[in-house]
Structure 1
Amino acid sequence: MQPTLGGLMLRPRSRPLHLSLCLLVLLACATLAHAQGFTLEQVLSAPFPSEPARSRQGDKYAWVFDAQGRRNIWLAEAPTFRARQLTRYTQDDGQEITALTFSPDGNRLAYVRGGDKNQAGEVPNPTSDPAGAHQEVWLTDTRTGNTVKLGEGDAPIFSPTGEAVAFSREDHLWVVSIAGGKERKMFEARGATAAPVWSPDGTMLAFSSARGDHSFILIYEPHTQRIRMLQPSVDRDIAPRWSPDSKHIAFIRLFNVTDTYSIDHERVAPWGIWVADAQTGASQQIWQSGLTETDSFSGLPSDEFFRWTGHDRIVFNSERDGWRHLYSIPARGGDAVLLTPGNYEVENVAYTLDNAAIIFAANKDDIDRRHLWRVGTDGGAVEPVTSGEGIEMSPAVVNAGRQLIFFHSTARDPYQPFIANIDGTNMHPLAPQALPADFPSAQLAIPAQVIFKAADGTEIHGQLFRAKLSMGRPPAIIFMHGGPMRQMLLGWHYLYYYHNAYALNQYLASRGYTVLSVNYRSGIGYGRAFREAQHRGARGASEYQDIVAAAKYLRESGAVDPKHIGLWGGSYGGYLTALGLARDSDLFAAGVDLHGVHDWSVLVAGLRVPLDSPERTKIARESSPIFAVNKWRSPVLLIHGDDDRNVAFSQTVALVRRLREQNVEFEQLIFPDEIHDFLRHEDWLRAYHAASDFFDRKLKP
């Protein structure tokens, strides 16, 4: 019997012709492999920088490099700022390095190794090490690299002389000599001690004490063993800041008011800035917000967003005009000056050594990137420091104010530390030797900025990665970031999680997919009204229409296969992936859901969900993927770590039960003892290989 294909008889071919066809196939495969050009391992190989720290004198700069899971501290010193590796950790063990802090003389560096505890009191242990894991404070000598453990804890600060290190443990401050010995509790005080800061003259320590529904600012005097409280009230006092002469303390007061949080409105959180005499405690309010949502306290992205600066002024951030901007006000009181006017958001802040000017990162004039700008602390023109098609973040002024160090990336070049003159000229990489020689920069796609409108007219920005190697109309994948208070950019991202996501989007494009990354409403970068969009998430899933609009944009372009559009995302992006598959399986053919939220009617850590009435609980559930699971038909890959501290693992367990009831095809990849933002490089590779393979099987005809 001759072999058949679809009922047609196949005739045996001659051997030479058969060999020729095999050769052509092999050549085609080789050409395809060469055109694809890079592996997932290569595009994820760049070391990721984080935790920047500058010495008090500005002559040393340190940061953490995560090189394929091996986390180490690097150091650069004046005058050459030639970078070198300081610590020697060699394993992809998932133990983070954070909270880098220089000693007053810059000769030592304290840091924390190990992550925060979960509700059960467990430190992340993603390798399932039988010895367990600990969060510990360590000390390294910046001259020799010698490293010693100081004790278990977090958030180290040096004493004014540099002879001891204090750190936080179990809501108290502990102190230990750098010469060795056993740590001891610095003092006893009710409440949770936070934000400790020494006075410039080294005689007093200010800190906040959280006590449930209120908090105080306290001053501890080591020489008298006395604790004093500044202007105690029923409100929440946070963020103490010393004046340069150590005579006064500025702090933020969050007023306790009736909660107005609802489906349609944010919680109104009025606040004020107070200044107190450090000796007498006499205090006065020098500024107060309004009583609207826009005026409400929006948090401090870092300590530098609230600071006593030059010319005896206090700099603070506010969204009173609908965008996160910097203001300054005289310490004695008066009118607040808007330092950064315009439709953009300030994201990082640094100060010149004389505290007279601010270098800040923002999306001014380039809304889907970040650049550095300069403005005086008392106002004046905002001047550009960097520009172009790159992304610049986390500035630090070094070398007696003559140079800047910052992190920089482009569409093709990964996020790395750079150094430049104070005016932004002569920019060059600080540690070029750290980037692997085979990193595929030249082979990466340059994403295009695209703008489209949702059904309600809201303008949505995205980044379009056009498929390589495509013959005809390629399959497409829509990516959604997490957060949701995030923004994907036209280049490598400044956050580790999204630096990895950008790498996967590049890899998928190299494998023949058109990828559209969507900055849906409730993200940052486009103003407070966009971020606080009505009916978002558990209040009605209004951002889902942005994902449908993205699919419509791709379909109407005529450049993709309309029957093979997939979804992928993590966390909040996982939520939107699952929601798309549940509501519109006819539109979305497959999805990869990393640790997504599947049921808003269950409390989700880190996200405020109004569930204080049956009606709100009903809306929350109707806004959830699990509510529409009876319509779900498309296959899904579920990826989750079972020590997730952001989205409970039970969210995926509950979804799987419902998918099984509905006979929905699903695959799973579970990481025992991993957290939300995977700590091991190996786990990122496994997750992304699984995602790519899943899409190849489900979206490619």
Structure 2
Amino acid sequence: MNKITTLLLAAGLTGSLTACMATSSTTSDSASQTADNRAPAATVKPQVEKTGNTGTTITLEQIMADPAWLGRQPENAGWSVDGSAVVYERERENSELHDVFYRGSGGEAEPQKVAMADLHKYRFDERVVSNDGRYTAFRYQDSVFVIFPDSEIVQLTRGGASLENLRFMTDNRLMAQSGNRIVAIDLTTGRREQLLSWAFAEEPEAVSEPKDFIASEQITLIEYIAKRRRDRQARADEQDALAAANIAVAPDTFYFSEDHRLVSASVSPNGRSAIIVTTEDTPWRDDSDVMPHYIQEDGRIDNKEVRRRVADAKPQSDTVWLVDLSSQTKTELSYVQLPGYNEDVLAEVKAENARARGETYQVNRLPRAIGLLDSWYWSEPAVRWHNNGEQVALMLEAWDNKDRWIATVDFDSQTLVSQHRLHDDAWVNYRFNQFGWLNNSETLFYQSEHTGYAHMYVQKPGQAPRALTSGQFITDNPTLTRDDQWLYYTANKKHPGVYEVYRVNIATGDSQALTDLNGMTNYILSPDESSLLLTHSKVTQPPELFLQAATPEAGATQLTDTLSERFKELPWAVPQVVAIPSSDTSQPIYARVYLPEDYEAGEPRRAVVFNHGAGYLQNAHLGWSGYFREFMFHSMLVQQGYVVLDMDFRASAGYGRDWRTAIYRQMGTPEVQDLRDGVDWLVDNANVDRERIGTYGGSYGGFLTFMALFNDPDLFQAGAALRPVTDWAHYNWGYTSNILNTPDVDPIAYRRSSPIYHAEGLESALLINAPMVDDNVFFVDSVRLVQRLIELEKENFETAIYPVEPHGFVQPSSWLDEYRRIYKLFETNL
């Protein structure tokens, strides 16, 4: 019996034993460690495992109460500013406020609450260390602090003009952005110097060309006017000369088009150059993009501003400027050097839509809209200077979502140089885009999904990339050590639903497994790079903190144990992760299955299939789910004899590029196919009655509930759609345009993928639960679909509204009401 088999037996995952025994638990990056190569184990009967006191009844009132009853788990874990202590927060009892706790980095001492006066020593918004390690600067709230070599903490600012985007220069000055300028501060003398400033306005001129004949004649004829012009020009020339020659005068401001706004401003660590990125200052919303909020303190209605819809989005390019701070000149960097900058990557899509209109599409090779990577998911800086200031790399993306480039700048020719192009005919993944420079070599490291799975690479500019990891698993959260020896990362090498911490030797490419906790594990490397602060969870164990040395086989020590006794005593059903055969792909569909103790006995069972939200999210894993209320609800259903299935249908995270992009231009089609495979598996393996199966889910899960009930009406006998998308043209640009392009380009994809176009297929009982102050999926989504169902004269549907709730419910009373309705739906119809 190998290690994976032992792991799955211990976790009650025997339903996927055959699938998992095809792999080993070694730490190599071989392609044998793959979900794709695992044969589905449909013939292996799943086992039942439970926790707690089996005689205790699980109630909706308990599981939908304020989640503090679970034990107030640690949140926002990290290291103190000086790295000497582990720091985390816990919700204060009977309060929404949080307290901050710390304990020594060795983990021996009991946790101590941080006094308010000392919070700045333990919490920070930014933290940077000088290249020589002598100085540490950090920002907390309105202030910037510096730790000097003698360990003294000096407060540099308190309030006033904020300093942010901290970075050390090659001469150990601290660089920061303050409003529309970047300044450098000498920490030994306190001298503050403005390096760069910018404005979006017409550049002021001492004298300007006369605007017409009359003005020209006035200057010629009237000496008074001519003298005033000469004096203004002389004063301006004197000021320019002073700025160039005298250190007491700040350098000139750089002016940009007044109809633009700033995207990014970054000065090189050596202070010689800067990159400024601007874009057209278009409104982020229309005046009609509002959301009424009916429940206000004054008894009136408040109109909340909300974002625009994808249907209203227009292509937009950024402009990248290379600034020479010595000569005070700026040069626009062209995108012409980027491979594919003018490819008509949507030609086939446009041609298909043109044919549907009875037209013929002609290929268009105009320059594409390109800009700095500014994904709604990925928030890291997209301009990266090498520590020596001699090299800079930018991560750029196409507005159509099909290309991402990593480009460096040739300072001599003032051009962009493409180093890596990632192209995807569907869309480039917005999640795996970490990149930067090695500290001691002008070599790039970055993530890429070009092999089908997210892996890490190093590349010297102008040379071919070298893979550091490979195989059919994903890597995430890379952390580079100061000496460039290691990249730490997390990966699901063992099993798609098990994430451990690894490190790869950059020189050799050899990976080492650092943790062996068998669940969901993430990490933060300590500032001295000797320890790992781990956040680890299991299926029935919410996240707790662990500490271990940053070396293989070191073993982890648990730091927190916050789970309440009340939670421990309840009889939670432990879901198994099973590999369900797919009728449409060679890869199995991983799913959690919840089973009653005697599920094989007696008449076939009722069942519920849960559809997770977000689309690109993984829920069939061996850790604590973000859907913890649903986990508890499923345990309650199991206690009453239901079988529950929770599938990672195609579009889910964790399974590589092909699984992610299966929904391109057809959201709701592959997923419903997978749901049918899940239903078949339940009937064949879990003694489920095909005529008594319901489904439910929120957000994307609500959308998928609609698509299943509308397009495959015999699949489920009842469904609940919570905060559901009904028309993708009304959703946001950042997410939707990746998958469906934009409605003006690809209306076929929107009509194919939006439930409102398929509502005539409804036959089963439907519950729609809609929060009214949802600024993610607007309430109008549900309103429009309800009107459509009324006009179609459908009878078997109900709608519940929640006047004070956003997308993620907040009030326990709302949670309870929602799940009472879902439970009643299933009890009534199954």
Question: Cα offset for 1:512?
Answer: 4.1
Indicate if the aligned counterparts of 1:72 and 1:86 stay in contact, CA closer than 8 A: no
Distance in 2, Cα, partners of 1:541 & 1:478: 17
Cα distance change, pair 286–176 in 1 and its aligned pair in 2 (3 A): closer
Match 2:814 to one of 683, 686, 699 = 686
**Residues 66-465 of structure 1 aligned to structure 2 (within 5 Å):** 70=96, 72=98, 74=100, 76=102, 78-80=104-106, 83-84=111-112, 86=114, 100-102=125-127, 109-110=139-140, 156-158=164-166, 187-189=198-200, 190=256, 191-194=260-263, 208-211=277-280, 212-216=316-320, 228=330, 231-233=333-335, 235-237=370-372, 239-254=382-397, 268-269=402-403, 271-276=405-410, 282=414, 285=417, 287-289=419-421, 293=425, 297-299=428-430, 301=432, 304-330=434-460, 332-393=461-522, 395-398=523-526, 400-423=528-551, 425-432=554-561, 434-440=562-568, 443-457=571-585, 459-465=588-594
CA distance in structure 2 between the aligned counterparts of 1:328 and 1:301, rounded to whole angstroms: 15
Structure 1 distance, partners of 2:331, 2:727, is: 44
Tell me the TM-score normalized by structure 1. Answer: 0.72
- Summarize deviations over 1:422-476 as a string: whole Å, max 9, x none: 12633133443x5444333874333212122343245311111223687854422
Q: Which structure would you say has the larger RCO, counting Cα contacts within 8 Å and 6 or more residues apart? A: 2
Partner of 2:678: 550
Aligned-residue sequence identity (percent) comes to 20
Letter in 2 for 1:214: D
Match of 2:781 in 1: 651
Name the counterpart of 1:17.
none
Q: Residues of 2 paired with 1:430 and 1:229: CA distance?
A: 54
Structure 1: tracts of 5 or more residues without a match: 1-30, 89-97, 112-136, 180-184, 260-266
Counterpart of 1:675 in structure 2 is: 806
- 1:268 partner amino acid: K
**Hey, what does 1:625 align to over in structure 2?**
755
Within a 5 Å distance, the mapping from 1:17-36 to structure 2 comes to: 34-36=56-58
In 1, the alpha carbon distance for the partners of 2:181 and 2:628 equals: 35
The CA distance in 2 between the partners of 1:59 and 1:339, in whole Å, is 31
Aligned residue number for residue 10 of structure 1: none
1:123 maps to what in 2?
none
Cα distance, 1:601 vs structure 2: 5.2
Question: If you compute each CA radius of gyration, which structure gives the higher value, 1 or 2?
Answer: 2
Note the C-alpha offset of 1:551.
1.6
* Structure 1 residues 335 and 408, CA gap change in structure 2 (3 angstroms): same
> Offset at 1:637?
3.1
- Kindly indicate whether residue 610 of structure 2 is the aligned counterpart of residue 599 of structure 1: no
Q: Quick one: distance in 1 between partners of 2:439 and 2:728?
A: 43
Give unpaired runs (5+ residues) of structure 2.
1-52, 117-122, 130-134, 191-195, 201-255, 281-315, 337-369, 374-381
Q: 1:252 to 1:227 in 2, by over 3 A?
A: farther
Match of 2:456, SS state, is strand
Task: Give, in angstroms, the shift of residue 621 of structure 1.
Answer: 2.7
2:620 equivalent in structure 1: 489
Q: Give the C-alpha shift of residue 516 in structure 1.
A: 0.9
Name the CA shift for 1:534/1:80 in 2 (closer, same or farther; >3 Å).
closer
Partner Cα distance (1:345, 1:567) in 2: 30
Change in CA separation of 1:557 and 1:340 when aligned onto 2, cut-off 3 Å: same
Q: CA–CA distance in 2 between the matches of 1:52 and 1:207?
A: 34
Contact 2:333 2:416 (C-alpha < 8 Å) held by counterparts = no
The question of whether the paired residues in 1 share the 8 Å contact of 2:432 and 2:449 is answered with no
- Cα deviation for residue 668 of structure 1 reads 0.8
Q: How much does 1:481 deviate?
A: 1.6
Report the Cα offset of residue 324 of structure 1: 1.0
Q: Is the 8 A contact 1:79 1:399 kept in 2?
A: no
- 1:400 is paired with a residue whose SS is coil
Tell me the TM-score normalised to structure 2 length. 0.62
Contact 1:72 1:85 in 2 (8 A): no
Distance change in 2, residues 1:637/1:468 (3 Å): farther
For 1:653, what is the secondary structure of its paired residue?
Answer: helix
Q: Deviations over 1:306-346 (max 9, x none)?
A: 4444444211111121111111112x432211111100111
1:141 to 1:282, Cα distance in 2 relative to 1, 3 A = closer
Separation in 1 of the partners of 2:674 and 2:505? 39
Letter in structure 1 aligned against 2:462: G
Shift of the 176–315 alpha-carbon distance from structure 1 to 2, 3 Å rule, reads: closer
* Structure 1 residue matching 2:541: 3-state secondary structure: coil
Summarize the Cα distance change of 1:201–1:506 in structure 2 as closer, same or farther, 3 Å threshold.
farther
